[in-house]
Amino acid sequence: MEGQEYGQTLRQLTLWTHHVLLPVYGREVTSAEPWCSRWWEHPEAIAQFHGLWLAWGELTGPGSKQSGPANWHRDYLVPVMSALRNPTGPFAGCKPGAHRPKEIPKVDAIDPFGPVG
């Protein structure tokens, strides 16, 4: 997605995250379960929440099976929230009221499979 479509999708994701997900499933912030109040500045969080939101729509929306919500909790909610709130996850450097971008792993500038020069 790009441009306006991307912006609209992020807006819908943010509304769902702030008004559905966090009021019900947001747990207290601790050093063992960090959180970033600027979660949208973490690409991994956007990707994880987007997948969680899409699964929510499929498994809890009209026409879903009665076991859909239970499957969503087990298969999507718990793994995603555990990964994001892990002490070594994307919010590891963030503290309440203080966002810190995640440092991505360094990669050598060489192309190991490129032409030999």
Q: What is the 3-state secondary structure (H, E, C) of the chain?
A: CCHHHHHHHHHHHHHHHHHHHHHHHCCCCCCCCCCCCCHHHCHHHHHHHHHHHHHHHHHHCCCCCCCHHHHHHHHHHHHHHHHHCCCCCCCCCCECCECCCCCCCCCCCCCCCCCCC
Evaluate if residue 110 carries a pLDDT over 70. Answer: yes
Q: Identity (one letter) of the amino acid at 85?
A: R
- Tens digits of per-residue pLDDT, 45-86? 999 999 999 999 999 989 999 999 999 999 999 999 999 999
pTM higher than 0.85 for the full model?
no
Q: Which residue has the higher pLDDT, 84 or 102?
A: 84
Give the pLDDT confidence of 18-38 residue by residue, as tens digits.
999 999 999 999 989 999 999
Token pair for residue 79? 């793994």
Residue 44 clears pLDDT 90, i.e. is over it = yes
pLDDT band at 105 (very low <50, low <70, confident <90, very high): confident
Query: Span 5-13, mean pLDDT?
Result: 92
| C-alpha triplet 55, 85, 88: angle, nearest 5° | 125
pLDDT higher than 70, residue 107? yes
CB of 4 within 8 A of CB of 56?
A: no
